[in-house]
Structure 1
Amino acid sequence: MVSGAAQRYAEALFDLALEEGALERVEADFKTLSALSASSSDFRAFLASPVYGADEKARAVAAIAAKAGVSDLVRKFIGVVAANRRLFALEGIIVAFTRRLADHRGEVSAEAVSAAPLNDEQTKRLRGEIERVVGKAVNLSVKVDKDLLGGMIVKVGSKMIDSSLKTKLNRLKSVMKEA
């Protein structure tokens, strides 16, 4: 769930990026930052830590963003977020911005989590099926979670379809305990 503050920051950045014609650039920058955050638990812990001051966090994130080739607009935006001591909300801001951008484009965001990697043909067929059901273009992100054992979980908006083997086994286990 995205906080109200994250939503407001995302909306402000969206309006500014729209005005400057930089929506795609901001989207690419946020994908880069999300990948950095996803690959480093230390980075996420640093952003959430009260041990470091806003200035230290701002300098560190600005240096990382510059090294990653993030645009001036996003670097300045992160500076404002850091100055207001809201860097802990950065992931929520990215999620809210991405949703707002998808809405602007008339797209629906969907996430598929599978037990094994999907090949290009499977991803294309899954995207096509989701588009058929929702009647809109779909921005699909695919992730792998080996803990699912088999099957997949598909999330579209607030709806979720869980056909994973892990869930089916847990249901069977629950039914057997009740019997």
Structure 2
Amino acid sequence: MADEFRTTEVGDRYAQALFDLAEETGALDAVRADLKSLRAAHGESADLRRLLTSPVLKAEDVSRGLLAIADKARFNGTTRNFLGLLAQNGRARDLMGVIVGFERLYAKKTGVVAAEVVSAQPLSTTQLTHVRSALLKALGKAPELTARVDPSILGGLKVKVGSKLFDASLKTKLDQMKFALKRA
């Protein structure tokens, strides 16, 4: 998946620090909402991705950029301060890993089951309802569903719940068929 992120040791440490601070300040849900917005923006904005990963930008410039984003989006003060600190420490490239780590900590604390559904084209409300009810049956609890479009999968769906991935995409099926034909 194009938007699949993994945590790192550094990302996990920062995620834990942010989670603890957000919990202490009573801003857990606000910080979570801010991080969800950042994750969505990361998927949509090449400029944000460059800001986070460019080796030529100085930490102060990255910090100014992230703080400007936080101010424009009216992020919670805890989130805003954290973004500034992350950039100042030269760790802006770890932001997506921090978000994944934060989500994992949030799910563990609250019992929320997060699921990401990836399709080649936007799913209708009815289709999302069917996916949600199928996941409810499989998981035993209602998932918090995030839908994303990735035309490269050609068709079908990819559903990720936690670390488990159900891949029924046309691209994967074609790749498997191509591999099987090569072996024959």
TM-score w.r.t. the length of structure 2 is 0.89
1:102-117 map, 5 Å = 102-117=107-122
1:27-176 map, 5 Å = 27-176=32-181
Give the aligned residue type for 2:59.
A
How far the C-alpha of 1:42 sits from its partner, in A, is: 2.4
1: CA distance, partners of 2:173 / 2:154 = 10
2: CA distance, partners of 1:75 / 1:96 = 18
Deviation digits for residues 134-169 of structure 1 (CA, Å, limit 9, x no counterpart) = 223312211122222221111112222111222222
Deviation digits for residues 61-94 of structure 1 (CA, Å, limit 9, x no counterpart) = 1112111211211111112212221111111111
Q: CA RMSD in A?
A: 1.6
How far the C-alpha of 1:26 sits from its partner, in A, is: 0.7
CA, structure 1 residues 147+37, in 2 after alignment: closer, same or farther (shift >3 Å)? closer
Give the aligned residue type for 1:151.
G
Give the aligned residue type for 1:41.
A
Give the aligned residue type for 1:37.
H
2: CA distance, partners of 1:104 / 1:71 = 20
Percent identical among aligned pairs is: 46
TM-score w.r.t. the length of structure 1 is 0.91
The aligned residue for residue 13 of structure 1 is 18
Instruction: Point out where structure 2 has 5 or more consecutive residues left out of the alignment.
Output: 1-5
2: CA distance, partners of 1:159 / 1:94 = 18
Contact 1:14–1:97, Cα closer than 8 Å, also in 2: yes
